[in-house]
Amino acid sequence: MNDIQYQFVKKILNSSSHGAKEIGRSFAPSNIALCKYWGKRDDVLNLPCNGSISISLGEKGTFTEIKRTNKDVFVLNGQIMSCESLFSKRMTSFLDLFRDSCRAPGFEVITTNNIPTSAGLASSASGFAALVLALNDLTGWELANKDLSLLARIGSGSASRSIYNGFVKWNMGKSHDGFDSYSELIDLKWYELRIGILKVDETEKKISSREAMKKCVATSKKYQAWPKQAEEDFHNIYNAIFEKNFLLLGQIAEANALRMHETIRDTVPSIDFFTNETYELLEKIKKIRKNGIEVFATIDAGPNIKILFLDKNESIICNEFSNIEIIKPFKDPNA
């Protein structure tokens, strides 16, 4: 167990109440970053080199159930996971931070994703957020969202944003102790906004975002320019959301994603998350845009694309992409 992480968790749990449920249950939405988190200034506490902003994927995400047991058992999408699997190892070391506060030597965790696991559709984000929410339900800690986002961040940086549903900003923070690097909800609903998922490849990626991030920061020459430009994107995207300026939001989000992947390709040896189909789809998106339709792409650490567009263009977009899954991030109560 990592002592720095343990002390961090302890400080958050110290003042919280304790109920006793038999099973803790939760759901956390997946999120796609419009301004990406790429690069850490602290690997242990997952402190980022830039702030990031995301949008949740509505009902797509992770359902989790957790129980106290004597020995860890992890079930992912109906399958018992071997303790040698990467999934189990990450769960075990994260749960190590909570065993004494929960008075549980082990946990049975049942995780169900309705998005592909580890194919760059942000399942680790919703996974760790759902785990923290389920622990909070199990124990009756009744933690504030800010504290839940700090805890989820220790599991996976982007998980800090999956505590909320909607537009979320994760503040970079400056302190060494990591308590000012938390996520918060941006209080704005944009009913006309649509996200389209274009699945290119759902198999597990060859390199995790965690590993790629580390190698990229250490060896990519282009990385030097990333944090400053990303902070600028962060502020511009934040303003575009408030102004409901879709063109500006889309342009900055797409440029930010493409710049991140360019920076990743500059890693030594080079890492490329895109497949031929990703490149072809990006060309197609550009072409549609040339015909006057405002549609923009963003891509996390994987080959799959999410496109952003407005409801008025939904039927045109559906005709262009046969294999598209459309998400309404905000449900209009009057629709």
* DSSP string covering 182-231: -EEE-----TTEEEEEE-S--SPPSS-HHHHHHHHHHH-GGGGGHHHHHH
When asked if residue 267 is in the footprint of ligand PMV (CB under 6 A), the reply is: no
**Contact string 147-186 vs ligand PMV (x = CB under 6 A):** ---------xxx----------------------------
Part of the chain binding ligand PMV (CB under 6 A), chosen from 118-126, 189-197, 235-243, 314-322: 118-126
When asked if residue 123 is in the footprint of ligand PMV (CB under 6 A), the reply is: no
**Contact string 286-305 vs ligand PMV (x = CB under 6 A):** --------------xx----
DSSP state of 332: -
Based on the number of CB atoms within 10 Å of its own CB, is 311 exposed (0-12), middle (13-18) or buried (19 or more)? middle
Q: How many CA atoms lie within 13 A of 204 on its CB side?
A: 8
Cβ proximity to ligand PMV, 125 vs 138, nearer residue = 125
Closest distance of CB 300 from ligand PMV, Å: 4
Interface residue with ligand PMV among 209, 220, 256, 304 (CB under 6 A) is 209
Cβ proximity to ligand PMV, 64 vs 123, nearer residue = 123
Binding residues for ligand PMV, rule CB under 6 A, total 14
Using alpha carbons only, how large is the chain's radius of gyration in Å? 19
Closest distance of CB 271 from ligand PMV, Å: 12
CA-nearest of 189, 194, 188 to 333 is 189
How far is the CA of 200 from the CAs of 117, 158, 298, in angstroms? 14, 22, 13
What is the helix (H) or strand (E) element at residue 284, kind and residue range?
helix 276-290
Handedness of CA 303, 304, 309, 315 (dihedral sign): positive
- Helix, strand or coil, per DSSP, at residue 89: helix
Contact 311, 192 (CB under 8 A): yes
When asked if residue 36 is in the footprint of ligand PMV (CB under 6 A), the reply is: yes
When asked if residue 124 is in the footprint of ligand PMV (CB under 6 A), the reply is: yes
- Helix, strand or coil, per DSSP, at residue 68: strand
Interface residue with ligand PMV among 25, 67, 210, 222 (CB under 6 A) is 210
Closest distance of CB 46 from ligand PMV, Å: 7
When asked if residue 37 is in the footprint of ligand PMV (CB under 6 A), the reply is: yes
Cβ proximity to ligand PMV, 166 vs 317, nearer residue = 166
Cβ proximity to ligand PMV, 36 vs 68, nearer residue = 36
**Residues forming the site for ligand PMV (CB under 6 A):** 33, 36-37, 52, 122, 124-125, 156-158, 209-210, 300-301
